[in-house]
Amino acid sequence: MEYLFPVSEIFESIQGEGNRAGMRSLFIRFQFCNLTCSWCDTKYTWFKDTGYFKWYSVSELKDIIRQKGFKEVIFTGGEPALFSLDKLVQTGFNYHVETNGTAIPTLPLEIQLSDGTLIKREAMNKNTIEKFNWVVSPKLSNSRQKIDVDSLNYWAAQDFCIFKYICNNDDDLAEVEKIVNDFKIDKNKIYIGLEGVTLKSQLKPEMVDKIVAKGFNFSPRIHVLLWGATRRK
């Protein structure tokens, strides 16, 4: 049976945050997510009935990637790690994955979402996926999701990922610090952005001072600064 990917949208923009901020990129946003975070800005990707999506074959997506001509390709969602991303690799491109970190790519996956959707994939090839730039965003308590201990232990031990957190206040920063200490994560791998979708929400120098003082990297959210909550940016 041919492997198919459910794709919500494909668009061109810049990477707005993290360790590759500012890079001209092609975004492929997958449908379906195993989490339902309270503040999620892409709720239209959660389930089969929350938004439009289309099924693409491996060859169709590879063709699109080649035709668009962007060297940087970002897999986002939804949750892209639910799918066999290693099947999409071809030479001449750099691949990035925006993930919530709950799915371990090198293990097989079978999960049924709350809408009844069954998602299955084989383990991804480790030699392939360790060349990706994985941007792991474990959710804080403000998302009303539980920490996945096994997954965090896995990602904390990997050299091919960074961690991205979105914080709003001192309590959020303290929670990140506790996670970093509990899971022995290298602080140099931590990037923290500011919560919000308005220009004002991103201009908090006092919060940036605190982020730096705790030994973390600050991640500007360039797409928010430029376009606010505009979709496909």
Structure tokens at 72: 């940087």
Euclidean distance between CA atoms 55 and 72, whole angstroms = 22
114-170 tens-digit pLDDT: 999 999 999 999 999 999 999 999 888 877 777 789 999 999 999 999 999 999 999
What residue ranges define each of the domains in the chain, with the CATH number in brackets? 4-227 (3.20.20.70)
Q: What integer is the mean pLDDT of 182-190? A: 95
Q: What is the DSSP letter of 31?
A: S
- Token pair 């009303």 in the structure block, residue: 144
CB atoms within 10 A of CB 25: 21
State the Cα–Cα distance between residues 120 and 109, nearest whole angstrom.
Answer: 5
Distance (Å, whole) CA 81 – CA 77? 9
Flag whether the pTM goes above 0.75. Answer: yes
Whether the bond between 78 and the residue before it is cis, its omega within 30 degrees of 0, is yes
pLDDT tens digit sequence for 34-87: 998 877 889 999 999 999 999 999 999 999 999 999 999 999 999 999 999 999
